[in-house]
Structure 1
């Protein structure tokens, strides 16, 4: 559950290298973490684990975004996740900070209180906060006097836009003071909101004229959010300083924790993009996918020209080639999709055979494993073997996709006909992946592979043994 979230501008002096240096000082210097002096050699994806903590660092593909995550399980069995996402921008850089906590088990009690990430406090204490429009992001309050009334007027009337909310504090008429410790309030909200404080009630009176009476007054605090949805908090006669301060801080933090973060700043998106890039690089698929895309576009253009010229037969062949290319693209997409799972315990095998349709080889292996397991089911001795347990686990955790069964059904429906196969049937066979080589009209090859072909009869008499021919073809091609 997201407990705390904010995003603010930082100066150019806070580089990625400096941020990582501060992060390592924070983690290596803490007695609460069990890392042995973690360090980074510049790799785009870096992780370190110990008993109850995990540190991760990721750079985006364009090197402009750096994401840091620290996960820590405390003594109450609560998982705390600290996220820092840094982006290099044209004027000022951006830093997004999020804190989440979750119960590890049912007995864990999730606390309501929390502390802002120490790294965030350090960054602001060292003066790396940048200008947010005309307000400096820091841990200090901003005073409104008669000399800068225009600043207050623009805030109250919504003329100035800020990334962070503005907490506007007024003085009471009875004593020209406020029960709030505004200096502590500014420290509590550093990097989360600007704290703006009126010097005295004379400022309040003058702003009433400048804002047509919509300004807060008499000790009230108004929170101006970037979406212009504001909240006014008024202390009652029994309010105490700390309680009132915490009420304001909680109102701001609770509101910001509900704001949706752009996808490019989320840890999951950055990590997925990096893993996808690594997969494409390792498997050298990226260029192949681009080439396939260009080839499909060229085939589509040629298809249109042939249609205009009336070359019907050649057009059908090109449609088949396009379907084959689409099948390859779907196969690559299927492989890329599996990268996102990242499940522990995966078993991977290399296979030189090209997969002709989605899930073909995996389904084939699972079916063979099912046959082997079924042989053991009725033997009370064998069901206690490790071999049986592994087979059982593999079959439970992996689902048979079943694309081959659909192909089998459609192929049997066509090949089992006792009369001549029609032109529509031939077109359907091409869509299923069967192609003709060297204009041999009586033979179709599965995905152009010379090892797998089916004979197509020329006359109705050739189909007296149609069922046997269909069975032979299906057994040759499909497991």
Structure 2
């Protein structure tokens, strides 16, 4: 399951050695000791692998296209595989950065603590990232003042397009930031530019210059480079916890856009591996053919060569099997994405309101579930029944995701005594943020303070778990 993807333009002075050294620095400097691969001693090799079967880092060079690909992979005790890829194309001076994990249905939602990789911070600090036209790629917001107001005007009026999305944040009536802008910029580094209005008095001037199309009074706008992605606007509303909710909505929106962009397969570890494999197999077949042609003349030498070639082919065949496994996972994921894209091509029946989805198709599921419930108590041969059933059929019917989650909650919380690791993982996969409050855990659904409940750290009441499950099912699913 793809969690994050971006392509960045790199300055010409990055060398192949500098790229590999930076990746190793990223791993060796990790604050999480369990992620560090011990005893990495790089001596300039371009095709090498470090680590163990469950924690490794591999480097591959594809000389024909002047590409170096690096993959870091970690397998958890429960079998979940986390992967990080860095692919640097030195012909085009562009770098692809991708994060993935083994596919799980619950992985479709973005972790509320998600932040783009620290590796991008290293690229910024060392000055390796090119400007996106006239905007530098930063991990902090760019202030929009009277001096550079034309940048924002050109963006709003569509006169200028950048490679990365633009997130513009206007100030409130009291000249305050509606969200933690610095935190937002830090978590979106490398995938979006964050522009912050310096003073609220600029609102009136922007209105005149932009024909009233600008965000103001704390509103936030997202401007995407691709015209197929519509401009998003979030109005400011003052209530407790609003800033954190809005922050997560913006991050989720931008990351989903970034992940949906198609990229050349040579900007992926698998694509580079396939290209290398094709070249090696072609070379080995040619060598084998030449050896067999001369076999009668130099039989002993040819037999030794064929044996060595066969060994190479067996190694390559093993790699083919590994890539086939990866392809199977990607095919499963692509089938889901293809189904989603095909639904986008249909004529929409309804438009979203101001509520944002916590995970893909959440709102659609709720609407289809409501239609299905309505049909259960409706007579046949009525116009309304035919129309509603047609809508259900056209949208593939209700998948009953909420019902599946409800059943899982009921089973896991039956006879609840305390929070096990498996239970904590279940809540996390369902989107709950778990915090401690004295003798209780507070479970907040996707970090939204409107939807929460508590669960005792220890309980002797056999019905406690069941009551919490019912609260979650009725209030949140």
User: Residues 60 and 159 from structure 1, CA distance in 2 versus in 1: closer, same or farther, beyond 3 angstroms?
Assistant: farther
d(CA) in 2 for partners of 1:109, 1:161: 29
Q: Deviations over 1:25-77 (max 9, x none)?
A: 23234421463323445555332341421212222233522211111123554
Corresponding residue number in structure 1 for 2:205: 206
- What's the offset of the Cα at 1:128? 2.5
d(CA) in 1 for partners of 2:38, 2:100: 25
> Over aligned residues, Cα RMSD in angstroms?
3.1
- The answer as to whether partners of 1:78 and 1:110 remain within 8 angstroms in 2 is no
Corresponding residue number in structure 1 for 2:191: 192
- The answer as to whether partners of 1:165 and 1:192 remain within 8 angstroms in 2 is yes
Structure with larger RCO (C-alpha < 8 A, sep 6+): 2
d(CA) in 2 for partners of 1:286, 1:155: 59
Corresponding residue number in structure 2 for 1:327: none
d(CA) in 2 for partners of 1:111, 1:177: 28
- How do residues 31-430 of structure 1 correspond to structure 2 at under 5 angstroms? 31-33=33-35, 35-89=37-91, 93-102=93-102, 112-113=111-112, 114-172=114-172, 174-228=173-227, 229=229, 230-238=231-239, 239-284=241-286, 342-343=320-321
Structure 1's unaligned 5+ residue stretches are 289-334, 345-479
- The answer as to whether partners of 1:34 and 1:50 remain within 8 angstroms in 2 is no
- The answer as to whether partners of 1:125 and 1:139 remain within 8 angstroms in 2 is no
Q: Deviations over 1:264-315 (max 9, x none)?
A: 2122221111122222334436998xxxxxxxxxxxxxxxxxxxxxxxxxxx
User: Residues 46 and 135 from structure 1, CA distance in 2 versus in 1: closer, same or farther, beyond 3 angstroms?
Assistant: same
- How do residues 422-461 of structure 1 correspond to structure 2 at under 5 angstroms? none
Q: Deviations over 1:347-382 (max 9, x none)?
A: xxxxxxxxxxxxxxxxxxxxxxxxxxxxxxxxxxxx
Secondary structure of the corresponding residue to residue 207 of structure 1: helix
- The answer as to whether partners of 2:27 and 2:36 remain within 8 angstroms in 1 is no
d(CA) in 2 for partners of 1:68, 1:4: 16
Secondary structure of the corresponding residue to residue 123 of structure 1: helix
d(CA) in 2 for partners of 1:202, 1:89: 47
- What's the offset of the Cα at 1:162? 1.1
- The answer as to whether partners of 1:167 and 1:221 remain within 8 angstroms in 2 is yes
Moved more, 271-280 or 68-77: 68-77
Corresponding residue number in structure 1 for 2:300: none
d(CA) in 1 for partners of 2:11, 2:219: 33
Corresponding residue number in structure 1 for 2:413: none
d(CA) in 2 for partners of 1:166, 1:286: 55
d(CA) in 2 for partners of 1:233, 1:219: 9
d(CA) in 1 for partners of 2:109, 2:166: 30
- What's the offset of the Cα at 1:262? 1.9
- The answer as to whether partners of 1:138 and 1:190 remain within 8 angstroms in 2 is yes
d(CA) in 2 for partners of 1:286, 1:189: 51
Moved more, 218-227 or 195-204: 195-204
Secondary structure of the corresponding residue to residue 218 of structure 2: coil
Q: TM-score w.r.t. structure 1 length? A: 0.55
Secondary structure of the corresponding residue to residue 7 of structure 1: strand
d(CA) in 1 for partners of 2:42, 2:265: 26
User: Residues 47 and 168 from structure 1, CA distance in 2 versus in 1: closer, same or farther, beyond 3 angstroms?
Assistant: same
d(CA) in 2 for partners of 1:147, 1:112: 38
